[in-house]
Structure 1
């Protein structure tokens, strides 16, 4: 029996494995090799790895984990989870049964792309979600923001640290008059109409086509599509969740433990806001440490 099984081997999962391996705990990491940020050419804001391709960072991390004899990395999907603290059972897609005293869920989320031509093709390059991840490289340029709800108002305020040239695309949303007045006070134009296509012209450039009015070119387009967990294991376990403006995340306490004793969660799967590799790595390390401490005699 393992001390822990980690489901999801991106930044959060590998960070958890590192802490458990250094404590000489036996751990198996199950991963399908499809991290959320695989569309991005570079990862930014991660100390020591700034501006490196995210897949290269993960490959280097896996190589480093190889020096720990108690860590096992397995390319497999967890199909089902059952049991309770000190005796969990995970069945993989190749019908292998694994047992462990603790579980760490870090299988992340998937973004639900809108049915807009050009959106998927530009995701991670000309269309991005996070100014902390990509803002510095396009600071001072013309930014666009596709409005997704009341939370977009905070994005407008946040973006001012990077640029004073911002255009908001309402995209069919009814932006309240008081918010429109505030945007006008900040010299942020609002373009009404629905986005019908996003044309990309190399690098960080996008032309937003609308069902009414002129097409508008921006240097970078920010968007926040809804997302959902990339697996349903938490549903079968009955774990408590939190409904956020962008999707469902797992509810955890200050020790990264979910509503079921012995199960921990980290990364985008349990982060209501600000998804980033730095946050995911930090949370993964915390989950690994607290899971290890919970097994002390």
Structure 2
């Protein structure tokens, strides 16, 4: 049976879009591998009425609620190819028959790539963090590090300064320009030159940032701007236009999350440079609305 929509990626954006379409009694298949980007974080913050609840728990609740709609199908797996044109797309999923669909939503396949520094990856989502708005309050002030990975890291350090006493580890990146240096001085951010060698356990449950020159700094948390990496090449194979951002390449979309390819939509972290649960969920809602209206006015709704 041809679907009205196939959603590749059952995270916050994908499930939000599915909810809109399900309530419009449209047939939707959600393809998901069960590896959401924020699975490393024990708690989510800044989500209205759900503060402190884990992202995995929120997703599980959403899936259970969506499962009550008879036109929704969940497919565990990973889509590895898609082709076709509007009203006749074909999605290939390993171990399953190809799925035909009228509309396609790309809402998954994003992962964070961290610098290759020992001790960093295993602390990701715990004491190595990306968003002060999500995790800064729980740090409770005190010494905080920011690891420079890109030109915007200096701006990140200036923002994080509202949550503690910040040291920006330049880690071989060029020194900020004069205007940025003046901003960091106003925000009382300390610059620490030198290359970071390893992240290890410090005293009193803190992290120890060890430089290659032997100097060490104990901090309560370390913020890192990771590179966004889109898994797979479905967007490229379909011909979707991409756009470059400070966080990496994302899929270009309009206000209703339509891509440059008719019938293909994109929502979530693969279609925005910076986001959180609330923002990507809102993107999913807009994509759901856009897809539904497109189906309505296509001439054979």
> Does the pair score TM above 0.5?
yes
- Are the structure 2 counterparts of residues 283 and 200 from structure 1 closer, same or farther at C-alpha, using a change threshold of 3 Å? farther
Partner of 1:171: 171
Partner of 2:287: 287
Q: Give a deviation string over 1:4-46, Cα, whole Å, max 9, x none.
A: 0000001111111111001101000000000011111111111
- Contact 2:20 2:288 survives alignment (8 Å): yes
Q: 1:113 deviation in Å?
A: 2.2
- Secondary structure (helix, strand or coil) at the match of 2:80 reads strand
Provide the aligned length of Structure 1 versus Structure 2.
295
**TM-score scaled to structure 1, two decimals?**
0.95
Partner of 1:71: 72
Structure 1 stretch 112-121 or stretch 18-27: which is displaced more? Answer: 112-121
- Contact 1:125 1:203 survives alignment (8 Å): no
- Secondary structure (helix, strand or coil) at the match of 1:295 reads helix
Q: Give a deviation string over 1:264-293, Cα, whole Å, max 9, x none.
A: 1111000112x2111111111111111001
Aligned equivalents of 1:266 and 1:10: distance in 2?
A: 10
**TM-score scaled to structure 2, two decimals?**
0.93
- Contact 1:257 1:263 survives alignment (8 Å): yes
Partner of 1:136: 137
Partner of 1:94: 95
- Are the structure 2 counterparts of residues 203 and 47 from structure 1 closer, same or farther at C-alpha, using a change threshold of 3 Å? farther
- Contact 1:126 1:203 survives alignment (8 Å): no
- Contact 1:108 1:267 survives alignment (8 Å): no
Partner of 1:276: 276
Aligned equivalents of 2:263 and 2:76: distance in 1?
A: 23
- Contact 2:30 2:75 survives alignment (8 Å): yes
Q: Which aligned pairs between 1:1-297 and structure 2 lie closer than 5 A? A: 1-163=2-164, 165-178=165-178, 179-200=180-201, 205-273=206-274, 275-297=275-297
- Are the structure 2 counterparts of residues 152 and 61 from structure 1 closer, same or farther at C-alpha, using a change threshold of 3 Å? same
Aligned equivalents of 1:114 and 1:158: distance in 2?
A: 21
Aligned equivalents of 1:84 and 1:259: distance in 2?
A: 12
Structure 1 stretch 20-29 or stretch 182-191: which is displaced more? Answer: 182-191
Q: 1:157 deviation in Å?
A: 2.8
Structure 1 stretch 287-296 or stretch 202-211: which is displaced more? Answer: 202-211
Q: 1:145 deviation in Å?
A: 0.4
- Contact 1:33 1:75 survives alignment (8 Å): yes
Q: 1:107 deviation in Å?
A: 1.0
Q: 1:137 deviation in Å?
A: 1.0
Which stretches in structure 2 are left out of the alignment for 5+ residues?
Answer: none
> RMSD in angstroms over aligned alpha carbons?
1.6
Q: 1:204 deviation in Å?
A: 6.8
Structure 1 stretch 177-186 or stretch 276-285: which is displaced more? Answer: 177-186
Which stretches in structure 1 are left out of the alignment for 5+ residues?
Answer: none
- Secondary structure (helix, strand or coil) at the match of 2:236 reads helix
- Secondary structure (helix, strand or coil) at the match of 2:296 reads coil
Q: 1:61 deviation in Å?
A: 0.9
Aligned equivalents of 1:203 and 1:239: distance in 2?
A: 49
Structure 1 stretch 171-180 or stretch 9-18: which is displaced more? Answer: 171-180
